[in-house]
Amino acid sequence: MKIAVFGGSFNPPHLGHRSVVSMVSEHVHPDLFLIIPDNVPPHKELEEGSPDSATRLRMCIDNFDDLPGVQISDMEILREGRSYTADTVTALRKQYPADTLMFVMGTDMLLSFEEWYHFEYLLKELELVVLSRFDNDDDEILKQAESLKEKYGAIIHFINVPPLPMSSSQIRGLLKQRQGNDLLMDSVYSDIIRNRLYSAQMNLQWLEKKIVPLHKPKRLSHVFGVREEASRLAKRWGVDSDSAEEAGLLHDITKKLDVDGQLLLIDKYGIIISNSERENPKLLHAITGSEFARREFGVSQEIFDAIRWHTTGRPKMSMLEKVIYLADCIEPNRSYPGVEVLRAASYDDIDKAMCMALKMSIDVVRERGDVLHPATLEAYEWYRRKDLN
C-alpha cells in the first residue's frame, strides 16, 4: 500500500492545501492520504496569536475531510512537544511496517532537507514527493535532488505544477483586512470568523450572503437599507464604516423568529430579561440578535452593543450605537411623518437626532398601548437634557 503523508502547521489550512492533495493523488495514486497537523513546528515559530494545535486540527478536518482517501491524524498533537518528522515516521513504521511512505513537500523543504533532524533515516524510510512552490527554481532543485540521490539513495518524485498562488502567511494578512475568505473552505472561514482567529475581520460580501437565509425575504430590503445608511452616517461622524456595515447587516439577525423562538434562544443562551422585555416581544430580537451575532459571527463588544441597543436606546450611547439606532430609523425604505426632518438632523446634529428619534419611538409605543422599556425613557431624558444644554 502507498501512503502519502502531508504534514505542516496548517495555519490556517486553505484551498491550496486541498489542491496539493488533488495533485499528489492524481500523480502518485496513494491508497491512503494522511494529513498530519503538527503540534509545534521544529523549523519555525508559529506567529504570535496563532490558534492552538487542537483548533488547527479542527480546521484541517473542515478543510480535508470530504476528500476521498484522506484521513486527518492527531498523532503529532497527541505526542506534544516539537513535531519532528523522524518521530512521526517511526510511529508510522510501527503501524505500516511494509508499506511505502511518500512524504509530500515543497521545493523549499527539499533545499533544506539535509538540515532536518535525522534526515538520513528519513531518506531511507520515505519516498519524497516534491511540488514546485516558486517560479524559476528548477535548476537549483534538480541539483539538490541529484545530490540527495547520489549521497543517500533518495527516491524523489517531482510533480510539475505551477507554484501555489497562496500561502498561509499571506492569508493571515488578508484576514485582518476583511479579505481571504475566497482562499478558504467556507467551513474553515466560518470557524475563523466565529472565533476571530488571526484577528480576522469579517468579509462583508460573505456576511451578506450568510444572512439572506436567516431573514424573511421582505425584510432584506430594510436590512440592506440599514447597512447603506449606517455606512453613510459612520463616514459623517468619524466611525469605522466597515464596523457600521457589519452591525447594520446583523442588527435584525433574529427578527425572523416568533416569540417562542426568541424565548428558546434566551433560554439557550442563559440571558436574563426584564419583565418589560418579556411583555414586549418586539424588543427581544435585539437581545437575542446581539448574542447570536457574538456566538455565530464573533462580533466585537462594540458591535454587540450597537445591535443590543438598536431598539430601545440607552443613555450615553457610543457613536456606533447612535449610528445604528438612527440608520434603523431613517434608512431609505422608511416612510413616515417626520422622517425627512429626522434624516436631516441625523447628519447635522446626531445627539439632537437621537432625542427626536427617541421621542418618536415613545409616542408610537404609547399610542399602541405597548409596554415602554425603561431604557428608552432614560435615554430620551438623557439626550433631552444634553440638547437643552
- pLDDT score of 83: 81
Overall size of the chain counted in residues: 389
- pLDDT score of 42: 67
| Collapsed DSSP state (helix, strand, coil) of residue 130 | strand
Q: pLDDT tier at 44 (50, 70, 90 boundaries)?
A: low
pLDDT at 93 over 60: yes
CATH top-level class of 2-186: alpha beta
pLDDT at 300 over 70: yes
pLDDT at 318 over 90: yes
The residue-averaged pLDDT of 135-155 equals 83
- Provide the phi-psi class of 169: left if phi over 0, else alpha when psi is between -120 and 50, else beta: alpha
Share of the chain above pLDDT 90, in %: 77
pLDDT at 229 over 60: yes
> Edge-to-edge, what's the strand order for the sheet holding 2-8?
70-72, 32-37, 2-8, 100-106, 126-131, 155-159
pLDDT in tens, 335-382: 999 999 999 999 999 999 999 999 999 999 889 888 889 999 999 999
- 11-20, 236-245, 363-372, 375-384: which is most confident: 236-245
The residue-averaged pLDDT of 47-52 equals 86
pLDDT at 40 over 80: no
pLDDT at 198 over 70: yes
pLDDT at 323 over 70: yes
The residue-averaged pLDDT of 231-242 equals 98
Q: pLDDT tier at 227 (50, 70, 90 boundaries)?
A: very high
Return contacts of 333-338, CB within 8 angstroms, 24+ apart. 333/221, 333/222, 333/225, 334/225
CA 157, chain centre distance (Å) = 36
- pLDDT score of 134: 52
Grid cell of 102 as nine digits = 511518500
Q: Are 207 and 246 in contact (CB under 8 A)?
A: yes
DSSP letters, 198-215, are GG----HHHHHHHHGGGS
CA–CA separation, 235 and 294 (whole Å)? 24
The residue-averaged pLDDT of 198-218 equals 97
Q: Single out the residue of 81, 83, 201 nearest to residue 73, CA to CA.
A: 83
The residue-averaged pLDDT of 189-198 equals 97
Return the domain boundaries, the chain. Answer: 2-186, 204-388
CA Rg value for the chain: 28
The residue-averaged pLDDT of 312-316 equals 96
Backbone φ and ψ of 217, nearest 5°: -55, -40
CA 23, chain centre distance (Å) = 27
Q: Which residues face 159 on adjacent strands?
A: 131
- pLDDT score of 136: 56
Q: Single out the residue of 343, 142, 342, 154 nearest to residue 232, CA to CA.
A: 343
Q: pLDDT tier at 388 (50, 70, 90 boundaries)?
A: low
- 60-74, 148-162, 270-284: which is most confident: 60-74
- Candidate from 117-126, 137-146, 294-303, 306-315 with smallest mean pLDDT: 137-146
Q: Are 192 and 175 in contact (CB under 8 A)?
A: yes
| Collapsed DSSP state (helix, strand, coil) of residue 158 | strand
| CA distances for 363 relative to 366, 375, 383, angstroms | 5, 15, 16
- pLDDT score of 111: 87
- pLDDT score of 36: 96
- pLDDT score of 245: 98
**Contacting residues for 75 by C-beta, under 8 A, at least 6 apart:** 36, 88, 91
Number of H helices, E strands in the chain: 20, 6
- Candidate from 103-107, 124-128, 215-219 with smallest mean pLDDT: 103-107
Q: Helix axis angle, 301-308 relative to 319-330, nearest 10°?
A: 40
Backbone φ and ψ of 159, nearest 5°: -110, 110
The residue-averaged pLDDT of 155-176 equals 86
Q: Are 376 and 312 in contact (CB under 8 A)?
A: yes
204-388 homologous superfamily: Hypothetical protein af1432 (1.10.3210.10)
- pLDDT score of 360: 96
Question: What mean pLDDT is reported for the chain?
Answer: 92
Q: pLDDT tier at 387 (50, 70, 90 boundaries)?
A: low
Share of the chain above pLDDT 70, in %: 96
Grid cell of 236 as nine digits = 459623517
- pLDDT score of 389: 66
Element (H, E) at 304: helix 301-308
Q: Are 133 and 162 in contact (CB under 8 A)?
A: no
Count the neighbouring beta carbons within 10 Å of the beta carbon of residue 270: 7
Backbone φ and ψ of 40, nearest 5°: -130, 115
pLDDT at 133 over 80: no
In the chain, the largest separation of any two C-alpha atoms, in whole Å, equals 90
CA–CA separation, 293 and 313 (whole Å)? 18
The residue-averaged pLDDT of 189-194 equals 98
